[in-house]
């Protein structure tokens, strides 16, 4: 009677079964931190006099304020570099071999189906797209994990999302997850596992699944997870020689609620300020002028996202008065976009292209908003002040809607 998540937790806890609400200690396959969260972990780690349990199960990615935006950011990265050197952390990603952590680690073959992963970053839930259990933790929990190789968890109950039918035109993973969050709210899955099923999954590429799992946290979920199918296995092929296990939910698994989503009936969806749950379909949107568009992030910086934007930009120009920032999620994606001519399309259209970085998503750098400015962004959060001034506004959308908005100077509503 276990869900996918519960089966993974049971296996890593060395137990035959676990139940919702049970407290367990489980062995970890991977622990992640970045240039903001790792220094906190390292400080606590060193204060306790710990040593690393398994250096090959730690990944440190410098991506938030990197390339460094100021002296404080430089000091944080220096701290992480020193720790990586001290303990021989081979999965250390710095400028030149970096990427946004949640796109980079799957690409590097560091996460496989059935893995148990924790990260000192809330969007660690992204890896559920590969059939892994992955979740965000605090920096002190991460320090304990690096020292012991284990983490403690309260086993979550689950919500079942049945995705039905082929998605309608221009419907991406971003539209699907925004629709779901709009339906259940930002606390609709609080400390629960969001588990995805249905025939509609076969129409979703791995990048769409990454996007959906990435934003499970925006519904308050402990994790999001997809079954590992042929699409999953094709993605991981050649990325790692490590053994993995595919877990499937029991037929009699218990769910707190079941939601059916007919993908063929969805419309492109935009999340209005200042919560991801404030969603409207494009035909419900009026005339809203914008100042900036950001296409990228761990949510939507994949190659398929860039292709979707390039399809719009190849015969269009960015509207005068609008700034467009394109951020490929990893160097590999950047190079693929370069080979396909996408970078040239973006620059010719009037956009700028950045090295991989979280940058503006968290109000870090590379596109901060001033008071009164509005941005359409493919990122994952639109809280007050998320991308700059507290009086700025962020509208979340897919790469297609973001690009269509950029050439119009207004949020695309299907008419303008």
Task: Provide the CATH topology of domain 4-261.
Answer: Aconitase; domain 3 (3.30.499)
Largest CA distance in the chain: 62
Q: What number of residues does the chain have?
A: 416
Q: What one-character-per-residue DSSP string does 334-374 give?
A: HHHHHHTTHHHHHHHHT-EE--S--GGGGT-SSSPBPTT-E
- Domain borders along the chain are 4-261, 270-408
Q: In this structure, is the dihedral angle defined by the CA atoms of residues 9, 202, 163 and 1, taken in order, positive or negative?
A: negative
Domain 4-261 shares a fold with domain 270-408: yes
Q: What one-character-per-residue DSSP string does 105-121 give?
A: HHHTT---TT-EEEESS
Report in angstroms the alpha-carbon separations of 186 from 176, 213, 274, 284, 388: 15, 14, 11, 21, 22
Distance between CA atoms of 194 and 378, rounded to whole angstroms?
21
What is the assigned CATH class of domain 270-408?
alpha beta
What residues contact residue 334 under an 8 Å CB cut-off, 6+ apart? 328, 343, 353, 355, 356
> Along the 416 residues of the chain, how does pLDDT read in single tens digits?
899 999 999 999 999 999 999 999 999 999 999 999 999 999 999 999 999 999 999 999 999 998 999 999 999 999 999 999 999 999 999 998 889 999 999 999 999 999 999 999 999 999 999 999 999 999 999 999 999 999 999 999 999 999 999 999 999 999 999 999 999 999 999 999 999 999 999 999 999 999 999 999 999 999 999 999 999 999 999 999 999 999 999 999 999 999 999 999 999 999 999 999 999 999 999 999 999 999 999 999 999 999 999 999 999 999 999 999 999 999 999 999 999 999 999 999 999 999 999 989 888 899 999 999 999 999 999 998 899 999 999 999 999 999 999 999 999 998 87
Q: What is the pLDDT of residue 295?
A: 98
């Amino acid at each position: 009677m276990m869900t996918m998540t519960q089966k993974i937790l049971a296996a890593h806890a060395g137990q035959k079964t676990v139940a919702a609400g049970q407290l367990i200690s489980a062995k970890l396959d991977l622990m992640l931190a970045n240039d903001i969260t790792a220094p906190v972990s390292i400080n606590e780690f060193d204060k306790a006099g710990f040593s690393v349990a398994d250096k090959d199960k730690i990944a440190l990615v410098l991506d938030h304020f990197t390339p460094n935006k100021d002296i404080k950011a430089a000091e944080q990265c220096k701290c992480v570099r020193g720790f990586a050197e001290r303990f021989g952390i081979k999965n250390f990603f710095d400028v030149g071999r970096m990427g946004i952590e949640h796109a980079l680690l799957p690409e590097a073959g560091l996460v496989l189906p059935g893995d148990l992963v924790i990260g000192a970053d809330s969007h660690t839930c992204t890896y559920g797209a590969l059939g892994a259990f992955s979740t965000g933790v605090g920096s002190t929990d991460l320090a304990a994990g690096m020292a012991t190789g284990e983490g403690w968890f309260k086993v979550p109950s689950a919500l079942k999302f049945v995705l039905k039918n082929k998605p309608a035109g221009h419907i991406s993973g971003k539209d699907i997850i925004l629709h779901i969050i709009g339906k259940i709210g930002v606390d609709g899955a609080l400390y629960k596992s969001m588990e995805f099923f249905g025939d509609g999954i076969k129409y979703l590429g791995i990048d769409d699944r990454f996007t959906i799992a990435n934003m499970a946290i925006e519904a308050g979920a402990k994790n999001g997870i997809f079954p590992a199918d042929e699409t999953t296995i094709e993605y991981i092929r050649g990325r790692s020689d490590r053994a993995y296990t595919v877990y499937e939910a029991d037929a009699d698994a218990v769910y707190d609620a079941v939601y059916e989503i007919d993908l063929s009936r969805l419309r492109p969806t935009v999340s209005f300020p200042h919560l991801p749950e404030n969603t409207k379909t494009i035909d419900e949107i009026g005339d809203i002028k914008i100042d900036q568009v950001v296409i990228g992030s761990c949510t939507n910086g994949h190659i398929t996202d860039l292709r979707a934007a390039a399809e719009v930009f190849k015969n269009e120009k960015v509207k005068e008065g609008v700034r467009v920032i394109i951020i490929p999620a990893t160097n590999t994606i950047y190079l693929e976009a370069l080979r396909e001519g996408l970078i040239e399309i973006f620059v010719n259209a009037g956009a700028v292209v950045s090295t991989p970085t979280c940058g503006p998503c968290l109000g870090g750098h590379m596109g901060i908003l001033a008071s009164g400015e509005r941005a359409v962004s493919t990122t994952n959060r639109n809280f007050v002040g998320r991308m700059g001034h507290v009086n700025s506004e962020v509208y979340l959308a897919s790469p297609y809607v973001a690009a269509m908005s950029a050439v119009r100077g207004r949020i695309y509503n299907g008419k303008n």
